[in-house]
Structure 1
Amino acid sequence: MSRNQETLKQKMKRYLRTPGSLLMMLLVMIAAILTFSVLIFLIVYILVHGVPYIKPSLFALKYTSENASLMPALINTVIMTVFSLLIAVPLGIFSAIFLVEYAGRGNKFVEIIRLTTETLQGIPSIVYGLFGMLFFVTTCGWGFSLLAGAFTLAIMILPLIMRSTEEALKAVPDSYREGSFGLGAGKLRTVFRIVLPSAVPGILSGVILAIGRVVGETAALIYTSGTVAAVPSSVMGSGRTLAVHMYNLASEGLYMDQAYATAVILLILVVGINTLSNVAAKRLTKV
């Protein structure tokens, strides 16, 4: 009998001696299996209904009522994601650095900021969309544009990036900071050369979640960036993302096959971004 089998046998004996532990183990296993099953079912369902309708016409550079091309929406999605991250990531990371490294522990101002960020995380996306329409589209005079959508999404993902970065910085042991100070490094050098590199995996996990929210967002973008099925000549032009494109196709009821095909591309895009981010996190951690 192998060592793993002996360990498993010992665990089962221990669970059988305590019925409460056995019941909890079964409930946890059932929950994990159900979660995994739902995920697999969604992926298989989307692939089965979408893959047969992925055709070259879907990747035409210009959208028409005949091809229902997703290429303009795909390009707009990449542009929207990049602009949103350029705005939100620096603000979120620098805010988290202030809260963890510079603000004193027990500071009331810090508690107010944390309460505010947690509140912002719970606001529905439709509220962000209405705010973006009233402020960026109307008050600022940007109109329905990629820029208005990017700023709206940046406000949406800022609390997520900020909180994940804060937790990642807190997870860095204080001994790292003390060792850096002991070698004569200053506060700024310690933060950017010691603390931040150690917190990169946690920071990237927050960025990955933020990318997923940007790519999958519809409500906020319908009211800010618009639904034009074309790549605008500038960020001040209107354009739809993949999620909005899929929503429009499904709501019209005439392009359900193309909507499922768009869902497959959207799924591949999210998985690809997550994979690249994980690879980058591992390489940065090794360095």
Structure 2
Amino acid sequence: MTVTVRKTPITAALQGRRRPLEPAFRVVLLASLAIAVVFLGILLAYVVSEGWGRLDSRLWTNFPSKLYPERAGAQSAIVGTVYIIGLTGAFCVPIGVMTAIYLEEYASREHWWNRLIELNIQNLAAVPSIVYGILGLGVLARGLDLGRTLITAALTLSLLVLPVVIIAAREAIRAVPGSIRQGSLALGATQWQTIWRQVLPAAVPGIATGTILALSRAIGEAAPLLLLGAVTHITFNPESVTDAYTVLPIQIFNWIKQPEAEFHTLASAAIVILLAILLLMNSVAIWLRNRYEKRG
């Protein structure tokens, strides 16, 4: 039996109007993508060409110098950046994932406090980073007497990116099919066993992607760290979480302010190092995502 759908004049007019607009919309999308890629390529080419002369071992083996740009390096800034990103990930990822598990698997939508938590998480994701810097300075550095140290910076950046981690982890957990949960529970597993052995492994690709986006934002932040004592001239590597520190964005900013052209070359080379660290982080996230997708 064949069912024939009768087209009204309005339906035919709408379909006829969509057909010429769809190719035009695709062209606009491709043009926007091409413009973004071209500008990004120009920026990368400019930075690499400007800093190529100082992309050598001096950059990561020497410490900063205010008087001798030919001897200056960014070892303390590179080490400080790696420490801060490592501590930030260690703080925010477990808390963010556990919060997402609670909100998606345990929390009841009928309770007002759960709705309040969700509303605050969504609002905190849009708060400017300088506000978190003021919060870290007032509460962590002065209120808890942690000082302007490495641990204070890591905790502040963890608060900054925590809403992003929570939102990404919630979306990844929500995307896991309900049949997986039902099948696990039907076989006698507890709710926690279902979450730990079934839901989380299936959600790891989405969680890894969201986490790396959050840490990518943290690695480029300079405004909160200016308030938290990320001084620009550090000639030693931090040995504990209570030491002074500096990071690559602050060091780059300091070199750009100098009038000598050699320092500008150093800044371009440091930007390349920062991009390399960011690409390495993204590569690890892609590897984790592909590994767990194959297992699934």
Query: TM-score, with normalisation over the residues of structure 1?
Result: 0.90
Match of 1:250 among 236, 242, 256: 256
> C-alpha displacement at 1:32, in angstroms?
1.7
Is 1:286 the counterpart of 2:294? The answer is yes
1:38-53 mapped onto 2 (5 Å cutoff): 38-53=39-54
Partner of 1:63, secondary structure, is coil
Partner in structure 2 of residue 168 of structure 1? 172
- Stretches of structure 2 lacking an aligned partner (at least 5 in a row): 1-14
> C-alpha displacement at 1:17, in angstroms?
8.3
Deviations 1:144-172 (A, max 9, x none): 11011001001001101000000000000
Partner in structure 1 of residue 241 of structure 2? 235
Contact 2:50 2:269 in 1 (8 A): yes
Contact 2:157 2:218 in 1 (8 A): yes
Contact 2:230 2:247 in 1 (8 A): no
Question: Aligned pair count?
Answer: 274
Higher alpha-carbon Rg: 2
Contact 2:202 2:292 in 1 (8 A): no
Contact 1:15 1:22 in 2 (8 A): no
Is 1:192 the counterpart of 2:196? The answer is yes
- Stretches of structure 1 lacking an aligned partner (at least 5 in a row): 1-13
Contact 2:176 2:199 in 1 (8 A): yes
Query: TM-score, with normalisation over the residues of structure 2?
Result: 0.87
Is 1:137 the counterpart of 2:145? The answer is no
In structure 2, what residue type is equivalent to 1:22?
P
Partner in structure 2 of residue 64 of structure 1? 65
Contact 1:85 1:154 in 2 (8 A): yes
In structure 2, what residue type is equivalent to 1:222?
L
1:115-134 mapped onto 2 (5 Å cutoff): 115-134=119-138
Deviates more, 1:54-63 or 1:129-138: 54-63
Q: Percent identity?
A: 30
Match of 1:263 among 271, 289, 292: 271
After superposition, the Cα gap between the structure-2 partners of 1:130 and 1:19, relative to the gap in structure 1 and judged at 3 Å, is: same
Deviates more, 1:250-259 or 1:176-185: 250-259
